[in-house]
Amino acid sequence: MRGGGGLSAWVILLVAVMLAALAVQCVTSLVTETATLDELQFIGRGISHLMIGTAVWGPFLIGDHHAPLPFMFSAAPLLFTRGIQYPPCEAEWLHSGIWRFGRYFFFDLNMGRAEGMVNRCRCMTVLFSLLLALLVFHFARKLHGTGAGLFALFLQVFSPTVLAFSRYAVDPVYTAFFILLAVCAFHDYMRNPTARTLVFAGAAFGLAQLAKFSATLLIPCFVVLAAMDNVREGGSRGLVGRLGGLALVFALGYLVVWAGYGFTTGSLSDVRIAEHFIGGRGAEWEFPDAARLSPAMFHPGRIPLVPYVRGLWELWRHNRMGHPAFLMGEVSRNGWWYYYIVAFCIKSPIPLLALLAMTVLLHRKFERGERPGDAYLIVPLCVTFGISLMSRQALGLRHIFVTYPLLHIYLSGVVTVRPSGAAARVLLRLCLAALCAWYLRGTVRIRPHYLAYFNEFIGGPKNGYKYLVDSNLDWGQDLKGVKGYMAEHHIDHILFEHAGFSAFARYYGIDYERLSDRLSRARSPEEAHIKGVVMVSATARADLWDPERRLYNWISRYEPVDSIGYSILVYRF
């Protein structure tokens, strides 16, 4: 039965229980982890947008390839927090660059409160994760019925990947929510083309663009979906009418985008200005800081959406340049076409992959035969994975995070299967129950280290550092665990190399010497006289930024004796 009527009291209770489970898992685990590498600049960018408004669209966003909406939502709780110290003059807001500003805002001005501030901002992400879970339930119920909605909600609430990014003040959850909202709204418009559904579809499309520049992929998705609907319905509404509706959705959407940028205007000559600026200075990875020192480069103009177009240009330029990444012991600046396929296969629970195989095999046995609504899930999934094969930015599973809620909704349709024969029906239900139990067990066992989840294909999270790093495993979140480990094992001093912030290491009272400093002062690791306890985070071990990979070539010869949160490896010499 498709969703359409009201919800029974039991269904409402089950939804409430699962949402509560999601909130409890997120809140009780987020307080155990240190601020990740990207959170401080994300929050810093957001608070600057909220405090000084359109002044940031010029100098603050030059060379930036991130859309603003998630950052503003992330930083919003700080507006209601008393006692926070802000930069005293506008120059310190605008001319320091996002990374430097984030460190200055938290470590120089608010170090004593930095941890609490970050946790407040993380709670906003938890709120949006709850909204995303509700949207997953709603869309699955609309497509496949109430039972499927509950099943999709279960998959969403207990997904280790969803839980991992639902606890940090970063953008994957916000992006997934607004993209899924846009897909759901466009589905409603295609099924019931009224003024109300048109406005909602356009607004949702615009919000998705403000959440992530890669949401431009919705444009080809919507075009394909509209064409598929037209073919399936035999042109009953007419191709011209569908194209006109699409144009209105996109027009309304970009009007929302312009409003999101404060209706600012500019000159198209500014679009490529960051590339020219850094090209003359030869500091390609310093462009966010260096370029913002010269706000006078901007030209007046009356063209709308220039900051948005500049962001798209910078996203394309960044992808063209590539970015150092790690996969299965190798480092590449150009990525691997199969990177996201490998990441998805080893970081997704095996029961989820089994459900995917089962759903594909049983597709023809779905209730009521063909399910046209599934195209609104399959097309975005295929486009997202297709584009990932061409990407040179192998930066982590978070960049295709939206595939998980889409996949959960698609897989929920398996509960509508009605095999012929009582034995087949019982067998199917037993298989689903066993997969759900396995799925739940894996998530419970990894708590609270959800970011470090790896499935049994590679031996679980203890082997994750051999395959993936950065936001797949080690984002600098386990510094608290280092201090606790040292206290538990009566360790006073360590050699340490990590991917987090040294200011937080000092804040937690970790007494350490940088391993890279010790190695750089010696002609060989043997001359460095390394003894005692050595801790190396997985991302630092990968040596992404050292062409010779000296640390990796040395430390990879040894096996760690322990780990902290699976992301920090412990060695004893």
336-364 pLDDT, tens per residue? 999 999 999 999 999 999 999 988 887 66
CA distances from 234 to 237, 344, 375 (A): 8, 37, 17
Alpha-carbon dihedral of residues 3, 4, 10, 14, nearest 10 degrees? 50
Short-list 157, 144, 233, 156, CA closest to 193: 233
What pLDDT is attached to residue 512? Answer: 92
CB 159 within 8 A of CB 443: yes
What is the pLDDT, as a whole number, of residue 72? 92
Please give the backbone phi and psi of residue 535, each rounded to the nearest 5 degrees, phi first: -120, 130
The structure tokens 């919000």 sit at 207
Q: What is the pLDDT of residue 221?
A: 95
Eight-class DSSP state of 524? S
| Among candidate residues 496, 471, 472, the one with its CA nearest the CA of residue 485 | 496
pLDDT value at position 12?
95
Give the residue carrying structure tokens 């997934």: 176
- The answer, yes or no, to whether residue 291 has pLDDT greater than 60, is no
Question: Is pLDDT above 70 for 368?
Answer: no
Q: Which has more confidence, 52 or 464?
A: 464
CA 454 and chain centroid, separation: 17
d(CA 209, CA 404): 19
Give a three-class secondary structure readout of 548-568.
CCHHHHHHCCCCCCEEECCCE
Position 62 pLDDT exceeds 50: no
**Alpha carbon distance 488, 307 (integer Å):** 51
| 107/85 Cα distance (integer angstroms) | 11
**330: pLDDT confidence band, cut at 50, 70 and 90?**
very high
CA distance 315 to 296: 23
Comparing 96 with 266, the larger pLDDT belongs to 266
pLDDT of residue 2: 54
pLDDT tens for each residue of 124-170: 999 999 999 999 999 999 999 999 999 999 999 999 999 999 999 99
Chain position carrying tokens 């480092």: 331
Tell me, rounded to whole angstroms, the distance of Cα 396 from its chain centroid: 8
Instruction: Work out the percent of the chain whose per-residue pLDDT is above 70.
Output: 88
Distinct helix (H) and strand (E) counts, the chain: 25, 9
Instruction: Give residue 526's pLDDT.
Output: 74
Amino acid letter for position 121: C
- Residue 44 identity: G
Residue 572: what pLDDT? 93
User: Mean pLDDT across the stretch 323-340?
Assistant: 92
pLDDT band at 1 (very low <50, low <70, confident <90, very high): very low
pLDDT band per the 50, 70, 90 thresholds, residue 308 = confident
| Average pLDDT for 380-394 | 89
Residue 92, pLDDT above cutoff 70: no
Which strands sit side by side in the sheet containing 494-497, from one edge to the other? 512-514, 494-497, 533-537, 568-572, 562-564
Task: Report residue 22 as tokens.
Answer: 């999601």
> Is residue 10 exposed (0-12), middle (13-18) or buried (19+ Cβ within 10 Å)?
exposed
For residues 146 and 154, the answer to whether their CB atoms sit within 8 Å is no
* pLDDT the model gives residue 99: 76
Q: Residue 369 pLDDT more than 50? A: no
Measured over the CA atoms of residue 452, residue 454, residue 456 and residue 459, the dihedral's sign is negative
Structure-model confidence comparison of residues 368 and 389, the more confident one: 389
Beta carbons of 298 and 273 less than 8 angstroms apart:
yes
Closest C-alpha among 474, 471, 463, 211 to residue 340: 471
What's the rounded mean pLDDT across residues 91-115? 81
Q: How confident is the model at residue 297 (pLDDT cuts 50, 70, 90)?
A: low
Residue 61 is encoded by which pair of tokens?
């966003």
User: What pLDDT shows up at residue 466?
Assistant: 96
The rounded distance, in Å, linking the Cα atoms of 7 and 1 is 13
pLDDT at 511 exceeding the cut of 80: yes
Q: Which of 135-139, 432-436, 550-554 has the lowest mean pLDDT?
A: 550-554
Strands 325-327 and 330-332: antiparallel
State what percent of residues in the chain have pLDDT above 90.
Answer: 57
Segment among 1-5, 11-15, 101-105, 245-249 with least mean pLDDT = 1-5
Q: Please tell me what DSSP assigns to residue 7.
A: P
Average pLDDT over residues 487-491: 93
Q: Which segment of 1-15, 46-60, 532-546 scores lowest on mean pLDDT?
A: 46-60
How far is residue 515's CA from residue 530's CA, in Å, rounded to a whole number? Answer: 9
Residue 288, pLDDT above cutoff 60: no
Tell me which residue has tokens 């995917």: 356
pLDDT at 55: 65
